[in-house]
Structure 1
């Protein structure tokens, strides 16, 4: 992680300096700001006061123009970890496909039980119970496992990140790592959380509550401009 002279956050935001991608980033940021303001008015969402401040890229080469970045710090809650796990794809049964399979199994279970009460037959009750077991495997077990994982992950650890037009730097010292915003990573938005899926099965999530409303459009614009939007798999 880079060392920076931290400036106090003021009402006069320091704009990102112009480079080849800045015009596109700012266009996206302005549109997102307009949409965000409309959503905030409808839903009453607000910033939770988490720290956010402007920083400069001291690692820029001599021939490069240093780019302003935004530093954020926050703690993910157990519920936010759970939502991230659900969208991470570790269980394929959590998507639309899993729901359809559960519905089909539920219908089969009802049919088997109805036939059993009408005509008898041990096989009908057995197949009905097997259908219910598979529904539990598809829906209940994965949720219980992810709840357990989220509880263990929500240890109160502070997450720190610095977001630049060309990269996101997460953590400090030996645990620091970087996501290049070069169009190779995927991004997904859900439940007021922005999640980036990078290489080596690594991911980064930031809740919108942790971002100062003055910085939210810029951060969204930067991240969307440097990643590939994706949606939850069926």
Structure 2
């Protein structure tokens, strides 16, 4: 059985497969290929989000994404989706209903990123952790939500965004409205370039800095830690 199918509930599924005759993947690449932001393409040629989003869609639908590949043998990607009203769907719903929920880990997150595909992957990871996620495409929109009464437990924001307000400015303005608001800042810049601003952010409330490419799971882990310690 290909990796990724072991957790499927018994039932009927539709399988969609795409096969190529390319160079294939090594075991090391295959093990990471569905991680958000992981890519073997040159810089600027890919986001590393395609397979991560496909896997997220499949699993949220009660299915799975399976990949079989080896060097020199090409690659087959299979999407398994439960048939509507089938036994697999019922079994999946029963499992979800019976699974214990850790209410202490739940919280409200304001997620800010101007890239819709990146934001979608991070939002899905946070929602999978039981968090309520409000999204904004830029700093100004995020502030509008806060000024309108939104009370998040954690702010997650990219550093470089359009619209004249970067992530550090957003953290500063958000804490003016919500003092001590925990913040997770995601950046591709080096710390030396923005050292004083980072020190200010770290000194005015709980703060975490993640370098790109940041895994969605790592972001979710920081959010959960902030919420558990609130």
For the superposition of Structure 1 and Structure 2, which TM-score range results when normalised by the shorter chain? Answer: under 0.3
TM-score by length of structure 2 reads 0.23
**Bigger helix fraction:** 1
Report which of the two structures shows the higher radius of gyration computed on alpha carbons: 1
